[in-house]
Amino acid sequence: MLNPDFLLVDDDEAFAAVLARSLSRRGCVVRIAANGADALRPDAPAPSRIVLDLNLGGDSGLRLLPALRQRYPQAAIVVLTGYASIATAVEATKLGAVQYLAKPATLDAIMSAFEQASANPDLPVAPQPMSLKRVTWEHLQRVLAEHDGNISATARALNMHRRSLQRMLAKRPVKE
């Protein structure tokens, strides 16, 4: 496929515009959607590739992913997020994403993510275990995913104050 059709689902207008411009320079046809309703428009042409942001204006791209799979069954979906975690990566792949990338991702990384649709058993194992801060972040993300992104339910499950959890989640994820 020389010039694939892309659907960019991202509420960050500046990021989507820059990515769309870069893809267009490579000869791709690009449509931008800022939310789920725009992405699922019945009159829109079917893309062959979809780049889906995980955080869509406070809503979860994971909730939109099954609807995108149903509406565009032939499209390959790559989830792109600034808040990467193991829990959301696992959920995204369970829901049908072919890859999961952390922002900032280069255009080449995004393009190669679509090319690598099958598993790679030759990936190296991390030389060191995750830090305690990273394990904590991953645990918070897993429990949050179990409660469908509901902050209050997650805080109750973790036996902590909702505002404390919100403050922890508002921070950038720690490095590995």
Q: What pLDDT shows up at residue 44?
A: 87
Same domain, 102 and 162: no
Q: Which pair of structure tokens corresponds to residue 37?
A: 């309703």
Residue 71's CATH number: 3.40.50.2300
Same domain, 110 and 136: no
- Reading the chain (176 residues) residue by residue, the pLDDT tens digits are 457 899 999 988 888 899 999 999 999 999 999 998 899 999 988 999 999 998 887 788 888 999 999 999 999 999 988 777 778 888 888 888 888 888 778 888 888 888 876 555 555 555 666 677 877 877 887 788 778 788 899 999 999 999 998 888 887 766 65
Q: DSSP state, 85?
A: -
Q: DSSP state, 174?
A: P
Query: Within a domain: residue 51?
Result: yes
Residue 152's CATH number: 1.10.10.60
Q: Which of 72, 87, 115 is the last residue of a domain?
A: 115
Q: Which one, of 121, 122, 70, 74, lies nearest residue 98 by Cα?
A: 74
Q: What pLDDT shows up at residue 25?
A: 92
Same domain, 111 and 148: no
Query: Within a domain: residue 9?
Result: yes
Same domain, 88 and 159: no
Same domain, 160 and 78: no
Domain that residue 163 falls in: 132-170
Q: Which one, of 144, 140, 5, lies nearest residue 63 by Cα?
A: 144
Same domain, 141 and 105: no
Q: Which pair of structure tokens corresponds to residue 151?
A: 């902050």
3-state secondary structure of 117: coil
Q: Which pair of structure tokens corresponds to residue 129?
A: 């275990």
Q: Which pair of structure tokens corresponds to residue 19?
A: 């990515």
Same domain, 20 and 56: yes
Same domain, 72 and 148: no
Same domain, 39 and 110: yes
H/E run at residue 9: strand 5-9
Query: Within a domain: residue 126?
Result: no
Q: What angle do CA 63, 64, 69 make, to 5 degrees?
A: 120
Residues constituting the chain: 176
Query: Within a domain: residue 127?
Result: no
**Is the pTM for the entire model greater than 0.75?**
no
Q: Which pair of structure tokens corresponds to residue 143?
A: 């429990």
Q: What pLDDT shows up at residue 125?
A: 54
Evaluate whether 110 touches 102 at the Cβ level (below 8 Å): no
